Amino acid sequence: MLIVAATAAEIAPLLVALQQRAGGDTRLRTCRHGAHDVDVLTTGVGMVATAAWSSRILALREYDLALNFGVCGSFDPAIPLGAVVHVVSEELPEMGAEADDRFLTLRDLKLLADDEFPFREGRLVNAEPPDIVPLQLLPRVSGITINTVHGSNSSIAAVRQRCDPQVETMEGAAFMYACLVREVRFAEVRAVSNVVEKRNRAAWKLGEAIDNLNTAALHILDQA
């Protein structure tokens, strides 16, 4: 089993719970949990780092399951802060071109066919998530992966109109893309640390999100 996270801080309680074996490093830890051998990969923040490190480890080792754990921002007022969600589709809203006041997607530019692998109508989709009860009980949401976290009213309105996302991360699509290409079963699990709004760090509930994320992660590992 492979666990992927951008930072060790997001999965700190999980790392404490896992039985880490001798050797390894801060990038890739070799652990044990129950009957499972578990590799924990910390990629660094952002889709470039996540794509590179995830692709590298998936090419070097065989895994029956890959799990991405982290925090996210939410566009959906129905999702409370601290809630844990299962992201089942991802979009890359910054991939394209500006044409004056219009944004042209890769599909608009004829650089990506409607269902060109691994995309489905321009989205990355986890069509067959792992059959793990605690994972199945999580709300399923759609996400976007971005290089710049949204924090202005104008940019938030624009991405809502184009993509209508429920959550945003800086790594999800990169992880999903790597797993789809390598044909590895996977799931992206996120906890909501903040509302996507004009930047208001004081309103975030990062600690609560991390606590809830790690509780859910342990439940998933216990029944995987």
Check which CATH number belongs to the domain holding 20 and give it.
Answer: 3.40.50.1580
**CB-based contacts of 157: which residues, under 8 Å, 6+ apart?**
none
Task: Kindly state the tokens that stand for 82.
Answer: 């601290």
Give yes or no for a contact between 84 and 219, defined as CB atoms under 8 angstroms apart. no
Q: What are phi and psi of 53, to 5 degrees?
A: -70, -40
Smallest CA-to-CA distance from 220 within 33, 53, 61 is with 33
Structural domain range at position 41? 2-223
For the ranges 93-102, 168-177, 193-202, the maximum mean pLDDT occurs at: 168-177
In angstroms, the CA 106 to CA 11 distance is: 34
Instruction: Please report, for residues 64, 71, 74, 77, 147, the alpha-carbon distance to residue 195 in angstroms, rounded to integers and kept in the order given.
Output: 34, 12, 5, 8, 17
For the chain, the domain total comes to 1
Give yes or no for a contact between 173 and 92, defined as CB atoms under 8 angstroms apart. yes
* Mean pLDDT of the 197-208 span: 94
pLDDT for residue 52: 97
Q: Where are the alpha helices (DSSP H) in 23-121?
A: 47-60
In angstroms, the CA 164 to CA 143 distance is: 9
Give yes or no for a contact between 62 and 99, defined as CB atoms under 8 angstroms apart. no
pLDDT for residue 21: 80
Residue 168 pairs with which residues in a beta bridge? Answer: 73, 144
Q: How confident is the model at residue 23 (pLDDT cuts 50, 70, 90)?
A: low
pLDDT for residue 101: 83
Q: How confident is the model at residue 19 (pLDDT cuts 50, 70, 90)?
A: confident
